Amino acid sequence: EQLSIGVRYIDINYVVHEEFIGFSEIHVLNAEGVSRSILESTEKYGLNMLKLVGLGFDGCSTMSGKENGVQAIIRKMYPTACYFHCASHKLNLVVNDQNSIPDIRNTIGTVKEIIKFFRESILRRKLIPNIPLFCETRWSEKYKCIRLFDKNFIEIKTVLEKLSISSEANTVTRNQPVVTKLQGTSVNLHSVHTFVKTELLGILNKHREHSIEYFNTIFEEITKAANSLDVVLKIPRRTNHQSQRSNHNYSSNDSIEDYYRVSMYIPYLDSIISSLNNRFNENNETPFKLCWLLPNEMVKLQKTEYINILQDIENHFKIPNIKVNGLIWYDYWQLKSQSFINDIMVDHKKLLKECEFFPAVKKRIRIYITLPPTTCTVERSFSTLRRVKTWTRSTMSEDRLDGLCMISVHREKVNDKKNEYVQQIINIFGVKKRNLQFLFV
């Protein structure tokens, strides 16, 4: 098992870097073993852990556990470090939460089976446009998959009908239920936290408030697709207890559009809004209070509110003079125009230059910029690992694997000092005794 380690930092020129620094082999897969591996690696790479301000992991219990998780073990040693659940993973969980709605769960299941049906055969794969497999762990890939499926929906249905009358028994057996499902009337075909809590939720709430108007556009597309497929849209029968699909109470005056809007569209919006609120509800935690030091946010606060926030920041980060610096910083920006504030907020380098005479505030803003929003850098390193650790290299040592991956990830830096690296490699080989003779022409 390989543990990917990356660091995020801001340099003296105020440029933010997020770098992969290597793999570490894990011998024990519990929280204690993972945390030990992380600490040993940071010591190996010479990182000053006293400057650690954030830990970015996924949300599994081994990493995120409040009492015995990796983040809890490391934070006991370095209390000022704060744990952050990767925002990309949280968005993926928001998408997964929609499976609680029966109609959506059933539709996603059908889409997955159809894509799998075509992709597992080279001959069948040629019959439709290339649609990627439905990835369970990447929400962006789910969106791409659903979008391509929707775009080619009618073509896929036509091909499935042709295959259902083919002479291949296995194809007929597996394909016929899929064709039937597609012909049924239940076929229904997103700075991180700021965007989610304001813009994204604002858009979703607007759709919720004006659901009649927005769903009408969607239903028109559904009607066109249904007509192309010779599907008659109708309200399904109701029962006293239903667990496999929606069972909304409706009157005889309700139209088909009203039924699906109330039974499917509105519950979907309510579910995703609730899930986003629950999974991104971290604004009251101390690290997120650092955002109130930013001029565009600070001017929204009353002075008493701002003083309370400064006190919380001082208690957590133990920075001297933050309260005095912070109050002068507050008064400084009250005298600035909104246009000047907006111009400063475009580039964090300009903002940090404004902090030259406010060292305590500057340090806090640098911490806020450094906090890890996602774990994308280390996630990408596993793609490199897959390319490097092939069957022919599966028995290589840990040092060689780590070195090859570092060369692959940081190829630009290697190319900048290519001659120096080559000479160092030759020197290493020259020191070691080997039976293999090198000949240079």
> Domain check: are 248 and 103 in the same one?
yes
Query: Which pLDDT belongs to residue 59?
Result: 77
CA atoms within 13 Å, Cβ hemisphere of 163: 27
Q: How far apart are CA 25 and CA 144, in angstroms?
A: 34
> Domain check: are 291 and 269 in the same one?
no
Query: Which pLDDT belongs to residue 177?
Result: 43
How many structural domains is the chain composed of? 3
Looking at the chain, the number of H-run helices and the number of E-run strands are 25, 4
> Domain check: are 121 and 15 in the same one?
no
pTM: predicted TM-score of the whole model, two decimal places: 0.64
Query: Which pLDDT belongs to residue 438?
Result: 62
Q: How far apart are CA 329 and CA 310, in angstroms?
A: 11
Q: Phi and psi of 50, rounded to 5°?
A: -70, -15
Query: Which pLDDT belongs to residue 388?
Result: 78
Tell which of 279, 306, 328 closes a domain. 279
> Domain check: are 257 and 402 in the same one?
no
Q: Using a CB cutoff of 8 Å and minimum separation of 24, what contacts does 378-382 make?
A: 378/4, 378/5, 378/6, 378/20, 379/4, 379/88, 380/20, 381/4, 381/6, 381/20, 381/23, 381/405, 381/409, 382/4
Query: Which pLDDT belongs to residue 437?
Result: 65
Residue 136 lies in domain: 92-279
> Domain check: are 351 and 262 in the same one?
no
| Exposed e or buried b per residue across 345-375, where buried means at least 16 C-beta atoms within 10 angstroms of its C-beta | eeebeebbebbeebebbbbbbbbbbbbbbbb
Tell which of 350, 371, 392 closes a domain. 371
Query: Which pLDDT belongs to residue 248?
Result: 58
What residue ranges in 43-175 does DSSP mark as E strands? 54-57, 82-85
Query: Which pLDDT belongs to residue 269?
Result: 83
pLDDT tens, residue order, the chain (441 aa):
788 888 888 888 888 888 888 888 888 888 888 888 888 888 888 888 888 888 888 777 888 888 888 888 888 888 888 888 777 777 777 766 666 667 777 777 777 777 777 777 767 667 776 776 666 555 556 667 777 777 777 777 777 766 665 544 444 444 444 334 333 333 332 255 566 666 777 888 888 888 888 888 888 888 887 787 777 787 776 655 555 555 555 555 678 888 888 888 888 888 878 877 776 665 546 777 787 888 888 888 888 888 888 888 888 877 777 888 888 888 888 888 888 877 877 777 888 888 888 888 888 888 888 877 777 778 778 777 878 777 666 677 777 787 888 888 888 888 888 888 888 888 887 777 766 666 665
